[in-house]
Structures are given as C-alpha cells and as structure tokens.
Amino acid sequence: MQTYSYYPGCALERNAAVYHDSLMAVAESLDLTFTEVADWNCCGATEYITIDLIPAYALVGRNLALAAEQNCNGRSLVAPCSACFLNLKKADHYLAQSPELNRKVNQALAAGGLHYEPGSVHVKHLLEIITEDVGFEKVARAVKRPLFGLKIAPYYGCLIVRPVFDGTFDDAEQPTSMDTLMRTIGAEVVDFPAKAQCCGGHMTQISEAVALHLIHQLLKNAVDHGADVIAAICPMCQLNLDAYQDAVNKHYGTNFHIPILYFTQLLGLAFGFGEATMGIGQELVDARPALANIQVKPLKPVKRKRPSKTELPMPPKLQEVRSCLKNE
C-alpha cells in the first residue's frame, strides 16, 4: 500500500469529475491511497503568470506549502491534470534555482503564516505514478477484463512531457509510457505520431481558428491511424478534443466521432468496473459504440508482410518498450 498526497485541481471538481472518480477507483485496485491536500487552491493554470509574476508563484507556493505541511512522511504529491502538474513542479524547480524568487515568494507566504522549502515536495503526474511507481506488472495483475480489440490512440499533450526538467520521465516528442500501459490492459495501440502535440489549451477562448486547427490535426491523425478511442491524461485536452469536435466538423466539413476518455476510465474498465461507475457517457462524443468493439479474445496479430528483397533495413529502436501482459 502506497500513500500519496493528492492535488485534484479545479477541473476535477466538476468538468472532469469522471477523471477524479475513475482515478480513485483505479488507485484502490492498485493499492494506492490518495490523500487530498486540505484546502488547496487553484494553480493559476496558464493565466495568472501572464498578469503578475510573484502572486502567480505565491499561488502555487501556497499549495506546495500546504502539501509539505500536511505531508508528514515525505510522500510524493500526485496531480492528475497536466497543467497543475507542471505549475507545481515548475514552481518548485524555479524556486530552488533562484534564491531571490524564493525569498520573495516565501515573504508573501509568510503573510499567510506559511513557508515552503523548495525541493521538499516531489511532484508527480498520475501517469508517472502508475507507469513507474506501480509498474506494468502490477497493472497487468489487476486486469480482469482486457480491452482486447479496442484501438486506442494514447494522447499525452504537452505539459507532462515538456518542458524537460531533470527527471522528466518520458520522451518530449514521442513518449511511450502510456502506449505500454494501454497494451498492458490488452488494448491495441495505434500509431499516433501527433501524440504529444498541443490541444490548443486556452486558445479556444482567444483564437478559435488556431484552436480548431490544432484539434483538427489531432483528431485527424488519430482517425487516420484507425483509433476507436483517444485516451487523455489531462482535463484540458479532454475538454478541447471532446467539446470542440462538433465545431471542428463544422469548420472543416469533417465527420469525426471519436470519443475521448481519460486513461483511468479505460484502466477501470479493464480492471472490471462497470461503464457507469467509470462515468462512461459523460463525454460529449459517446464512447459506448466504440467500447462495443472490445473482444473477448485478443485480435490475431496482423501478419507482418515479408519485407521485399530490395528493402533496406531500418535502424533498431532506441529503447524497445514492450508490453508485459502475456496474452494467454
């Protein structure tokens, strides 16, 4: 049993409540305990920092200080939203790097009777905890109903893989950890080269043209590669791809109907939870038709066509990550 401090972030209170519910269920199956940081506040998203610097860091600083205060035995702090994750992690990192910023932020915190020592909270994203701390083997053991035949495009977005701080856990351009995780629960992972591209973030509010372009590119890429479902790890990504699909279709004359589910919803289904428990149906693009593709048996592996005689060899992959699920 492993215990973490838990920072849900604003989106998980409402818009992404299914993310919260499903991750809590999944955590239990994986023997994880998430203790919510009491009285946490908004991380400021990407907005506070655009107006005022020290208050933006103080805002995040309060969360870090609370987490440190309530976190008696040096646990890690888990954030399921990529924006929260980055804000927390970056603030900790930058406070440690610049003494002056640290001094100012702590002076502000002192006005609320708080103090934060940079480096005392180890911030991790939920995906990182499941793939690294828990590990694929343990996940595989929790699988009761493998998602055989379901074609998933694992979508990472930006802020979990970029920027790169020491110890960022996956590749900044072509990450693979969630691919392996999805294979571990029996799903088919489609090639999805756009997997770490931007969902548009708040551009939906500022320039729809830019946002729709980015969302279109992502949806098209996943659909081009035959995905049934896109797996998301961030409420902002989920919202943009889900809620703006209609707008994209209107704008580009396309006809996408690809559901966007949180990766924890998919894990939960594989761990045997019911669709209702996993909040399936809360998404705007209904996932149920796609989930009907789940098979009882693994798909027959597609026979790799024999390379032609003239074909030149490819360089081997830098690190071949393979699923550890044994498809018996």
Partner 1 sequence: MPQERIGVYVCHCGSNIAGTVDVEELTAWAGEALRHRGVVVARDYKFMCSSLGQDLIAKDIKEDALTRVVVAACSPHLHEATFRKACADAGMNPYLCELVSIREQVSWVHTDKAAATAKAKAVISGGVERVIHHAPLEPMSVPINPATLVVGGGIAGIQAAMEIADSGFHVYLVEREPSIGGHMAQFDKTFPTLDCAACILTPKMVSIGSHPHITLLTYSEVEQVDGYVGNFNVTVRKKASYVNSDLCTGCSVCEEKCPKSVIDPVFEAGLGYRKAIYRSFPQAVPKFPVIDADNCIYFDTGKCKACEIHCEAGAIDFEQEDQILELNVGNIILATGYDLFDARRETQYGYGRLANVFTSLEFERLTNAAGPTNGNIVLRDGETTPKSVGIIHCVGSRDRKFNNYCSVICCMQSLKFAHLVKERTGAEVFNFYIDMRTAYKEYDEFYQRVLSEGVHFIRGRVAEVTDVSNTPEEEDKLVIQIEDTRIGRQRRIPVDMVILSAALEPRHDSDEVAHQFGISCSVNGWFIEKHPKLDPVATMTEGIYIAGCAQGPKDIPSTVTQGAAAAARVLGRIQQKEMALEPIRAEVTEALCSGCRICNNLCPYTAIVFDEAKEVSVINAALCQGCGTCVAACPSNAISGTQFSNEQVMAQLHGLLMLNIMEPVVS
Partner 2 sequence: MDTSVKYVRGPTTHDRTFLEEVIAQTPVDDPRLAYCVQCGTCGGSCPSGADMDYSPRELFAMIDANMREEVLSSNTPWYCVSCYYCMVRCPQDVHITDVMYTLKRMAVREGFSHESNAKDAPDFSETFIDFVENYGRSFELGLATLYHLRHHPLNAVRMATGMGFDLFRKGRMNLLPTRIENIDQLKAILAEAKAIGGNGDANL
Contacting positions for partner 1 (CB under 8 A): 171-174, 193-194, 197, 217, 220-221, 224, 308-318
Minimum separation from the CB atom of position 172 to partner 2 (A): 4
- Whether the bond between 118 and the residue before it is cis, its omega within 30 degrees of 0, is no
If contact means CB under 5 to 8 A according to the sort of partner, which of partner 1, partner 2, none does residue 114 touch?
Answer: partner 2
- Using CB atoms within 10 Å of the CB of residue 268, give its burial: 0 to 12 exposed, 13 to 18 middle, 19+ buried: buried
Which has the closest alpha carbon to 232: 265, 280, 275, 268? Answer: 265
Q: CA-CA distance, 183 to 68, in Å (whole number)?
A: 36
Minimum separation from the CB atom of position 252 to partner 1 (A): 10
For helices 53-70 and 82-97, angle between their N-to-C axes, nearest 10 degrees: 100
If contact means CB under 5 to 8 A according to the sort of partner, which of partner 1, partner 2, none does residue 109 touch?
Answer: partner 2
Token pair listed for 92? 């900790």
C-beta of 100 vs 328, nearer to partner 2: 100
Alpha helices by DSSP H, the chain: 17-29, 48-51, 53-70, 82-97, 99-110, 126-128, 136-142, 177-184, 203-206, 208-224, 235-243, 245-252, 263-270, 288-291
Pairing of strands 76-79, 122-125: parallel
C-beta of 46 vs 197, nearer to partner 1: 197
Alpha helices by DSSP H, 48-146: 48-51, 53-70, 82-97, 99-110, 126-128, 136-142
Which has the closest alpha carbon to 298: 189, 188, 191, 153? Answer: 188
If contact means CB under 5 to 8 A according to the sort of partner, which of partner 2, partner 1, none does residue 174 touch?
Answer: partner 1
C-beta of 31 vs 173, nearer to partner 2: 173
How many C-beta atoms surround the C-beta of residue 30 within 10 A?
A: 20
Minimum separation from the CB atom of position 61 to partner 2 (A): 8
Minimum separation from the CB atom of position 231 to partner 1 (A): 18
C-beta of 54 vs 299, nearer to partner 2: 54
If contact means CB under 5 to 8 A according to the sort of partner, which of partner 2, partner 1, none does residue 312 touch?
Answer: partner 1
For the chain, the C-alpha Rg in angstroms (whole number) is 20
Minimum separation from the CB atom of position 10 to partner 2 (A): 5
What is the three-class DSSP state of 154? strand
Find how far residue 322's CA is from the centre of its chain: 20
Provide the β-strand partners of residue 223: none
Q: CA-CA distance, 251 to 230, in Å (whole number)?
A: 21
If contact means CB under 5 to 8 A according to the sort of partner, which of partner 1, partner 2, none does residue 202 touch?
Answer: partner 2
Give whole-number Cα distances, 6 to 76, 186, 210, 306, in Å: 9, 28, 33, 50
C-beta of 302 vs 314, nearer to partner 1: 314
Minimum separation from the CB atom of position 187 to partner 1 (A): 21
Q: Which residues make up the interface to partner 2 (CB under 8 A)?
A: 10-11, 13-17, 39-42, 44-55, 57-59, 61-62, 94, 97-98, 100-101, 104-105, 107-114, 158-159, 162-164, 172-173, 197-198, 200-203, 205-207, 209-210, 214, 243-244, 246-247, 282, 284
Minimum separation from the CB atom of position 11 to partner 2 (A): 8
C-beta of 9 vs 200, nearer to partner 1: 200
If contact means CB under 5 to 8 A according to the sort of partner, which of partner 1, partner 2, none does residue 194 touch?
Answer: partner 1
If contact means CB under 5 to 8 A according to the sort of partner, which of partner 1, partner 2, none does residue 317 touch?
Answer: partner 1
C-beta of 108 vs 324, nearer to partner 2: 108
C-beta of 57 vs 271, nearer to partner 2: 57
